[in-house]
Amino acid sequence: MKERSRGTPLIDMLKGYQPCRGRFHMPGHKASPDFCRTFPGAAWDITELPFSDDLLDEKGCIAEAEELAASAFCGEFCLFLTGGTTLAVQIMVGMAARRGPLLLPRASHRSAFAACELFGAEPVVLEAEECTAEGVQKKAGKAAALLVTAPDYEGRMGEAPAMLRAARACGLLALCDQAHGAHLGFCDRLPAGAAGIADLWAVSAHKTLPALNQASLLLGRAAWAEEAREFRKLLHTTSPSYPILASLDYARDFMEREGGIRLAALLRWREREQPFWPLRPEQNEDFTKLRFDLTPYGLEEAEVRRCFSQAGLTPEILSGEEVLFLLSVCDGEEDLNRLSAALRGFGPFRKVREALPPPSGRPEKAFAFLDRDFGREFVPLADCEGRAAACNVGLYPPGRPVLLRGERFDRPRVEYLLRNAGRLFGGTPEAVPVRRED
DSSP-derived secondary structure letter, 389: B
Residue 351 forms part of a structural domain: no
Residue 37 forms part of a structural domain: yes
What is the residue range of 410's domain?
Answer: 376-435
Nearest to 156 by CA among 251, 281, 314: 281
Cα angle 169, 172, 177; round to 5: 105
Residue 101 forms part of a structural domain: yes
Does the predicted TM-score (pTM) go above 0.85?
yes
What does the pLDDT average to over 33-40?
95
- Supply φ then ψ for residue 154, to 5 degrees: -95, 5
Amino acid type, 74:
C
Residue 368 forms part of a structural domain: no
Q: Is the peptide bond before 27 cis (omega within 30 degrees of 0)?
A: yes
In terms of domains, do 137 and 35 share one?
A: yes
pLDDT tens-digit map of 275-287: 999 999 999 999 9
In terms of domains, do 249 and 304 share one?
A: no
In this structure, the strands spanning 322-326 and 289-293 are antiparallel
Amino acid type, 240:
P
CB 245 within 8 A of CB 82: yes
In terms of domains, do 241 and 283 share one?
A: no
In terms of domains, do 382 and 292 share one?
A: no
Residue 300 forms part of a structural domain: yes
- The dihedral region occupied by 369, where left means phi > 0, alpha psi between -120 and 50, and beta the remainder, is alpha
Amino acid type, 394:
G
Amino acid type, 342:
A
CA of 247: how far to CAs of 243, 256, 408, in Å? 6, 14, 43
- CA-to-CA distance for 62 and 68, rounded, in angstroms? 10
- CA-to-CA distance for 288 and 185, rounded, in angstroms? 13
pLDDT at 354 over 80: no
Residue 117 forms part of a structural domain: yes
Which CATH number covers residue 393?
3.90.105.10
Sign of the dihedral defined by the CA atoms of residues 140, 142, 143, 146, in that order: negative
pLDDT at 329 over 70: yes
pLDDT at 3 over 80: no
Question: Last residue of some domain: 222, 256, 290?
Answer: 256
Which CATH number covers residue 318?
3.90.1150.150
- Supply φ then ψ for residue 318, to 5 degrees: -145, 115
In terms of domains, do 243 and 318 share one?
A: no
Could you tell me the pLDDT band of residue 2, with boundaries at 50, 70 and 90? low
What does the pLDDT average to over 138-143?
96
pLDDT tens-digit map of 171-209: 999 999 999 999 999 999 999 999 999 999 999 999 999
DSSP-derived secondary structure letter, 257: I
pLDDT at 351: 64
How many domains, the chain? 3
CA of 3: how far to CAs of 7, 183, 258, 260, 262, in Å? 12, 16, 7, 10, 13
Element (H, E) at 303: helix 301-310
pLDDT at 188: 95
Which residues are CB-neighbours of 85 under 8 A, at least 6 positions away? 111, 177, 179, 202, 203, 204, 216
Rounded (10°) angle between helices 9-17 and 242-254? 130
- CA-to-CA distance for 423 and 21, rounded, in angstroms? 46
Q: How far apart are the first and last CA of the chain?
A: 69
Residue 365 forms part of a structural domain: no
pLDDT at 7 over 60: yes
- CA-to-CA distance for 284 and 274, rounded, in angstroms? 14
In terms of domains, do 177 and 104 share one?
A: yes
Residue 85 forms part of a structural domain: yes
Could you tell me the pLDDT band of residue 438, with boundaries at 50, 70 and 90? confident
Which CATH number covers residue 137?
3.40.640.10
Which residues are CB-neighbours of 424 under 8 A, at least 6 positions away? 381, 393, 394, 395, 396, 417
pLDDT tens-digit map of 84-129: 999 999 999 999 999 999 999 999 999 999 999 999 999 999 999 9
- CA-to-CA distance for 168 and 103, rounded, in angstroms? 13
- The dihedral region occupied by 113, where left means phi > 0, alpha psi between -120 and 50, and beta the remainder, is alpha
In terms of domains, do 282 and 243 share one?
A: no
